[in-house]
Amino acid sequence: MKPGRVIGTVTLSQAAPQFRGARWKVLGAMGPDELSGKNPDGVGPGWTPVVLDQLGAGVGDAVLYVEGTEATQPFDHPIPLDAITVALMDRYVFEPID
């Protein structure tokens, strides 16, 4: 699980049938500065994954997401999925020491 902030959405004009009704979010990285409040509403540099969202995350929300095979576990049918949101963080505290 990694923290990320929703920075956008993706819509598809055509899609695999497994993705009917799916909502896709683009995430920006949340690093130490974003989690600790030095850059409270921003995103860090790096990878911007696109994830399936079933929690109703909106742009600006801080989420936890999972990448890998585990992302498909909530589904009772095969689905070609790389990443999924698993939590909307409503409060977080982060105090790195170096």
Partner 1 sequence: MILARVDGHCTATIAHPSLKGQRIVLCTPIDEHGKSNGSPIAAIDTFGAGRHSRVFITTDGSWTQGTVHDDSSPIRNQILGLIDDV
Contact string (CB under 8 A) for partner 1, positions 36-75, x = contact: x-------x-x--------xx-------x-x-xxxxxxxx
Q: Residue 28 and residue 49: Cα distance in Å, rounded?
A: 7
Q: Residue 96 and residue 98: Cα distance in Å, rounded?
A: 6
**Nearer to partner 1 among residue 1 and residue 16 (C-beta):** 1
Number of residues that bind partner 1 (CB under 8 A): 38
Does the protein bind partner 1 through residue 88 (CB under 8 A)?
A: yes
CA distances from 66 to 36, 44, 51, 89 (A): 21, 18, 9, 14
Does the protein bind partner 1 through residue 92 (CB under 8 A)?
A: yes
Q: Residue 58 and residue 75: Cα distance in Å, rounded?
A: 22
| Contact of 79 with 54, CB cutoff 8 Å | no
Which part of the chain contacts partner 1 (CB under 8 A), choosing from 7-15, 17-25, 82-90?
A: 82-90
Judged by CB under 8 A, the chain residues 2 through 31 that form the site for partner 1 are 2-3, 29-31
